[in-house]
């Protein structure tokens, strides 16, 4: 086993370069902190750039809309599991966060070219047109471009192609830094009194996902192994419309943004019958969990593996102007959306749960912070409202940097400054292909006790203890641990709610109107724990 042989120091190490990570790094730098960003890929390799729809925000220039209404829509979509206080705080801070992003150079689409007012679209679960967007359907790419450009002035040092393996901790469990592998796989340590996880999501738990290959649940595993609880992990949001590219799709599938339905498109099955008619009062713009479940039921009833999104009411020029990214993806599979409906199917998209944090990014472990998709602030509940995630990343990323600065101003205990070299940990690692297959078959939309038990047994049989000496092993270990934690929560929640659909418990019950928290036992097994508060939670 190799011992770490290089070392660097910072006040704050940020893991990940998505919207939350870079927002936090830039704010930390403004506050005078010595910040170091680590990413296992290139700076622009994260999930943020794939976001299409936009940022849900109430800027006060649309008469019929209000922050309170946006909060209400979020709570309704979250099916009783959102934290109303956290939700109000995050959504209330949205306008300032978007203005800060504009000040960094992000350009959003306008009602008319060079006009003052930003254009708005609507997505599932929103009762108003409040989603601002950029480049038509390339909002994430513009957000990422603005943040990466602002970070590239030399004052935010970045270690690209470096993989975070484990946190360094004092005997009392406080985080003192990070064990990482450099681009050549050589271990080293980053000594820091604060580590912020902004590692994004877990879509690679499944065979088909809208997420890029980096979305391997790394932050969830790091946090669990550091002693931090995670919650709401059973709520994996499946996006209703990723482009169907043929049976047995694997890896990242192109998204067909919900904004297409916001602009009037409708879902139809192979017979041309509407999928959402009569299912929900908001029909094709119902919350995402409702639409994905309805598509899944319709596909099962007809024995099909996809449905269609009929966008033919838009002219070719309208579609090209508004949805250039979707158009390019459709053309690669030979579909022209202005003349033929787009084949689509649900795929894993967003983790509503994650590491338990306050709205200021504090976890239950001193020195460990989290923001963005990896964190569970209470904003998403059992089903995230569309386009609330870029907003959350901007708001919580900023606030997490501020809480690190405030915590460090109180003084760092001297033992937290000590971080010793240590060997890479040895943990169970399952075969990724096997894991994705059983997760897709038994832990996607429509689960039951028997299937979840099969996932558990397959993981137990296929997992082998391996030292985390390569990026691939770190990722596979993260997927293994996260899958175990997820199925523990999914098996325990004996009801259906939001994104968690149990075929053997189809009803939503008041008894289960609470979040489930998962921690690791001393031997590293995920177990359901009592709800845990993050530090500083009310």
Residue nearest to ligand SIN (CB): 53
Cα separation values, 191 from 38, 179, 184, 195, Å: 13, 9, 20, 9
Considering the complex, state which of residue 357 and residue 388 has its C-beta at the smaller distance from ligand SIN: 388
Tell me the per-residue interface mask from 335 to 374 with ligand SIN, x by CB under 6 A, - otherwise.
---------------x------------------------
Shortest spacing between CB 444 and ligand SIN, in angstroms: 17
Nearest approach, Cβ of residue 261 and ligand SIN (Å): 9
- Can you read off the two tokens belonging to residue 237? 């949001």
Pick the piece of the chain touching ligand SIN (CB under 6 A) from 46-54, 174-182, 353-361, 426-434. Answer: 46-54
Q: Does 389 bind ligand SIN (CB under 6 A)?
A: yes
Asked whether position 258 contacts ligand SIN by CB under 6 A, the answer is yes
Task: Tell me: does residue 211 bind ligand SIN (CB under 6 A).
Answer: no
Stretch that binds ligand SIN, among 192-200, 255-263, 335-343, 502-510 (CB under 6 A): 255-263
CB 210, min distance to ligand SIN, A: 8
| Eight-class DSSP state of 381 | T
Quote the tokens at residue 265. 């498109």
Instruction: Work out which of 207, 257, 296, 496 binds ligand SIN, going by CB under 6 A.
Output: 257
- State the CB neighbour count (10 A cutoff) for residue 112: 8
Query: Of the ranges 35-43, 84-92, 225-233, 384-392, which one interacts with ligand SIN (CB under 6 A)?
Result: 384-392
Beta carbon nearer to ligand SIN, 128 or 537: 128
**Cα(284)–Cα(124) distance, integer angstroms:** 7
**74 contacts ligand SIN (rule: CB under 6 A):** no
Local structure of 514: helix, strand or coil: coil
CA angle 321, 327, 330 (to 5 degrees): 170
Q: Which of 217, 259, 309, 478 binds ligand SIN (CB under 6 A)?
A: 259
Q: Count the neighbouring beta carbons within 10 Å of the beta carbon of residue 457.
A: 10
* Length of the chain as a residue count: 538
52 near ligand SIN (CB under 6 A): yes
Q: Does 526 bind ligand SIN (CB under 6 A)?
A: no
CA atoms within 13 A on the CB side of 318: 12
What's the min distance (Å) between Cβ of 29 and ligand SIN? 28
**Least distance to ligand SIN, CB of residue 298, Å:** 19
Helices (H) and strands (E) in the chain, counts: 15, 25
Contact status: 387 vs ligand SIN (CB under 6 A) = yes
Which one of the spans 253-261, 303-311, 373-381, 402-410 is the region binding ligand SIN (CB under 6 A)? Answer: 253-261
Is 288 known to be catalytic?
yes
51 binds ligand SIN (CB under 6 A): yes
Nearer to ligand SIN, 216 or 237 (CB): 237
Cite the beta strand spans of 123-276 per DSSP E: 131-132, 158-159, 163-169, 175-181, 187-191, 194-197, 208-209, 230-231, 236-243, 251-252, 266-268
Q: Determine, following the binding rule CB under 6 A, whether residue 209 of this chain makes contact with ligand SIN.
A: no
Tell me the number of residues near ligand SIN by CB under 6 A: 11
Is the CB of 22 or the CB of 259 nearer to ligand SIN?
259
409-468 binders of ligand SIN (CB under 6 A) = none
Dist CA 20 CA 16 (whole Å): 8
Q: What's the number of CA atoms in the CB half-sphere (13 Å) around residue 152?
A: 10
User: What is the spatial distance between Cα 214 and Cα 40, in angstroms, rounded to a whole number?
Assistant: 8
Asked if 204 interacts with ligand SIN (CB under 6 A), we say no
Query: Which of 16, 45, 53, 397 contacts ligand SIN by CB under 6 A?
Result: 53
Using CB under 6 A as the binding rule, whether residue 381 contacts ligand SIN is answered as no
| Residue closest to 251 by CA, chosen among 292, 309, 209, 279 | 209
Report residue 122 as tokens.
């609507």
Question: Which residue in 130, 145, 252, 288 is the catalytic one?
Answer: 288
Tally of CA atoms within 13 A in the half-sphere of 89 that contains its CB? 17
Listed ranges 305-313, 381-389, 426-434, 507-515: which one lies at the site for ligand SIN (CB under 6 A): 381-389
Output the DSSP codes for 446-457.
SB-HHHHHHHHH
Spatial neighbors of 23 by CB under 8 A, at least 6 apart, are 97, 101, 147, 371, 393, 394, 397, 398, 401
Three-state DSSP class for 349?
A: strand
Nearer to ligand SIN, 137 or 174 (CB): 137
- What x-and-dash track marks residues 166-195 binding ligand SIN by CB under 6 A? ------------------------------
- Distance CA(129)–CA(513), nearest Å, equals 30
Enumerate binding residues for ligand SIN (CB under 6 A).
51-53, 255, 257-259, 350, 386-387, 389
Catalytic annotation, residues:
288
């Amino acid at each position: 086993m190799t011992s770490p042989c290089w070392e660097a120091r910072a006040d704050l190490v940020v893991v990940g370069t998505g919207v939350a990570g870079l927002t936090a790094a830039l704010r930390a730098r403004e506050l005078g902190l010595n910040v170091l960003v680590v990413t296992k890929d290139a700076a622009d390799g994260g999930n943020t750039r794939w976001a299409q729809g936009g940022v849900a925000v109430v800027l006060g220039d649309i008469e019929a809309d209000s922050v309170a209404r946006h909060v209400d829509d979020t709570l309704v979509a979250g099916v009783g599991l959102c934290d109303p206080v956290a939700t109000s705080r995050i959504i209330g801070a949205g306008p300032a966060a978007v203005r800060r992003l504009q000040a960094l150079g992000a350009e959003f689409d306008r009602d008319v070219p060079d006009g003052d007012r930003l254009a708005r679209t609507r997505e599932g679960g929103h009762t108003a047109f409040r989603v601002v967007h950029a480049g038509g359907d390339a909002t994430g790419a513009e957000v990422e471009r603005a943040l990466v450009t602002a970070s590239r002035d030399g004052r935010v040092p970045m270690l690209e192609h470096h993989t975070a393996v484990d946190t360094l901790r004092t005997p009392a469990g406080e985080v003192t830094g990070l064990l990482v592998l450099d681009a050549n796989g050589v271990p080293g340590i980053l000594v820091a009194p604060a580590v912020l996880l902004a590692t994004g999501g877990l879509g690679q738990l499944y065979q088909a996902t809208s997420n890029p290959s980096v979305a391997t649940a790394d932050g969830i595993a790091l946090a669990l192994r550091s002693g931090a609880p995670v919650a709401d992990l059973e709520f994996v949001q499946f996006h209703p419309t990723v482009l169907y590219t043929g049976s047995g799709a694997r890896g990242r599938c192109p998204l067909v943004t919900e904004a297409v339905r916001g602009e009037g498109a409708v879902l139809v099955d192979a017979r041309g019958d509407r999928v959402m008619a009569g299912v929900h009062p908001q029909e094709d713009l119902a919350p995402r969990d409702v639409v994905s479940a309805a598509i899944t039921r319709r596909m099962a009833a007809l024995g099909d593996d996809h449905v269609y999104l009929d966008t033919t009411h838009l002219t070719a020029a309208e579609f090209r102007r508004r949805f250039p990214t979707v158009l390019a993806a459709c053309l690669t599979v030979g579909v022209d959306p202005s003349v033929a409906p787009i084949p689509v199917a649900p795929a894993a998209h967003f983790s509503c749960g994650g590491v338990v944090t306050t709205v200021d990014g504090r976890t239950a472990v001193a020195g460990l912070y989290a923001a963005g998709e990896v964190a569970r602030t209470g904003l998403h509940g059992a089903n995230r409202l569309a386009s609330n995630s870029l907003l959350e990343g901007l708001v919580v990323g900023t606030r997490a940097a501020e809480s690190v600065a405030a915590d460090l101003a109180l003084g760092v205990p001297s033992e937290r400054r000590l971080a010793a070299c240590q060997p890479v940990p040895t943990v169970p690692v399952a075969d990724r292909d096997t894991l994705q297959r059983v997760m897709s078959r038994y832990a996607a939309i429509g689960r039951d006790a028997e299937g979840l038990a099969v996932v558990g047994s397959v993981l137990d049989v296929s997992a082998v203890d391996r030292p985390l000496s390569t990026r691939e092993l770190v990722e596979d270990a993260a997927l293994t641990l996260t899958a175990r934690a997820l199925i523990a929560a999914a098996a325990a929640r004996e009801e259906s709610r939001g994104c968690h659909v149990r075929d053997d418990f189809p009803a939503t019950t008041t008894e289960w109107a609470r979040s489930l928290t998962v921690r690791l036992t001393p031997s590293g097994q995920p177990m359901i724990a009592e709800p845990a508060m993050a530090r500083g939670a009310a």
